[in-house]
Amino acid sequence: MSLLIRAEGSARLLAAVKLANVALVLIWGFAVTYVFVRVLPLDEFRAFLLLVAFGNFTVSAEFGVTTIVYARLRRHWLGGEGDDYRPEELGFILALLLALIGVAALLLVAALALGWLPTMMPMLFLLFFLSACFNLPALLIKRMLAASDANFRWELIDCARRIATILLLVGVLRGLDVTLSVALQLSVTLIALAFALRLAHRRLNMKAGHWLGLRVGGGHVRARYVRDLSASVAFTLSEVAAYNAPYFLIALATREARPLLLFDFLFKMSRALSMTVRALVEAALPRATRAFHAGDAVRFRQIVGRALAGAAMMAFAAAVGLAFIGRWLFAQLFDGKAAIGAGEIALVALGLGALAIMCVSVYIQSALGRFRHLLWRSLPFLAGSLASVPLAALWVSRFDHMFLALYTLTLLGAGAIHAHSLRALTRTIGR
């Protein structure tokens, strides 16, 4: 236990285990594409990409409530001013997330039954969707443990879960039935979450009644969360639409597979970078939140500056990697069903540079509860993302390339806005 306590206090060890977990998540994400594009016919795989997008929408439909939990619980844990935290609110929010999973699963069943999402493997699609959706309660438990200085414990549990699910996924290439593999992955996830929830329960000195006090928790959430939640809902909807809407808009604009595969590649690269930057920022959040709530402007600026520098280095490393192996990676990822050009690789690299700044800004300011501030700075990104597909459609013969150029330009503009926002924040703290 003393080793865990020392690990929690070391930013380097915490960053290392978080980055290891990110690597496992990325391996799993790429392995999903690598395996499924090989075991599914192309039409089924195209439907599978839409399922993944629907899963992303569903996971994001918690509307940032877990981030609000982190901001409130962290302030409570640090003994901040104006603390009105009650443990029953956690039970209510967990029940809310489970209900959201149930509603989303029913919608998917309806879509499969009515043929809106055509597939010959409905059970596989449903199990995979549920496996993705249980990242919602996982996110809540992660925030609970992070707010109570138990980051390292969560990462160890999650690393074990990821390793098991990767092995099960690779087993498909060795002859394991793909539906059975996904069912076993879902089982592993549920076991890991049960263990982590028990740890959070003990860490926060909670009782069974706190989880079951839904009326008390619901009333407290309604009274204390509405202001932040309204801004968080709008901000999350804006971000989710900006990142995921092109999947559906491209599918409406063309039946060609390449534009969708090109955007999926950009999405996977951006998700890989954002997860890596998140690991870096989350390792710094314990110190950053302490400095912010204590009004230590010098220390806070130092932490933010280091986070930006680290994110920039990661984006640069990703750009260099794409320059050397981007074409090969694209061909391997999509089983040679499409190719990517050098100019498109350069656009992806530029977009990743802007995304790194956006991620640092969003992760730090969300942890501080600055949801209204973030909302207004997300709207230009949303507008540019939604406009990219119809504008690119004006160039029919070069639709795919023009879309990527317009979407990258949108990322660059959003990155500049967030850079200014972070600079303003570091100058106003403590005033």
What is the average pLDDT across 408-412? 95
Q: Across 9-23, 205-219, 405-419, which has the greatest mean pLDDT?
A: 405-419
Determine which of 47-56, 128-137, 354-363, 376-385 has the lowest per-residue pLDDT on average: 47-56
Please tell me the pTM assigned to this model.
0.76
Largest CA distance in the chain: 63
Per-residue confidence (pLDDT) for residue 1, from 0 to 100: 55
Q: Please enumerate in sequence order all residues whose Cβ is within 8 A of that of 357, keeping only pairs 6 or more positions apart, or say none.
A: 308, 311, 312, 415, 418, 419, 422
Separation between Cα atoms, residue 258 and residue 46, nearest integer Å: 11
More confident position, 91 or 293:
91
Q: pLDDT tier at 238 (50, 70, 90 boundaries)?
A: confident
What is the average pLDDT across 31-46? 84
Mean pLDDT of all residues belonging to the chain: 87
Q: pLDDT tier at 87 (50, 70, 90 boundaries)?
A: confident
Question: pLDDT (tens digit, 9 = 90+) per residue, 311-370?
Answer: 999 999 999 999 999 999 998 888 777 888 889 999 999 999 999 999 999 999 988 878
Nearest to 153 by CA among 202, 119, 110: 202
Nearest to 213 by CA among 103, 41, 86: 86
Q: Across 143-147, 188-192, 279-283, 391-395, which has the greatest mean pLDDT?
A: 188-192
What is the CB neighbour count within 10 angstroms for residue 398?
A: 11
Per-residue confidence (pLDDT) for residue 80, from 0 to 100: 61
Backbone angles phi, psi at 400, to 5 degrees: -60, -45
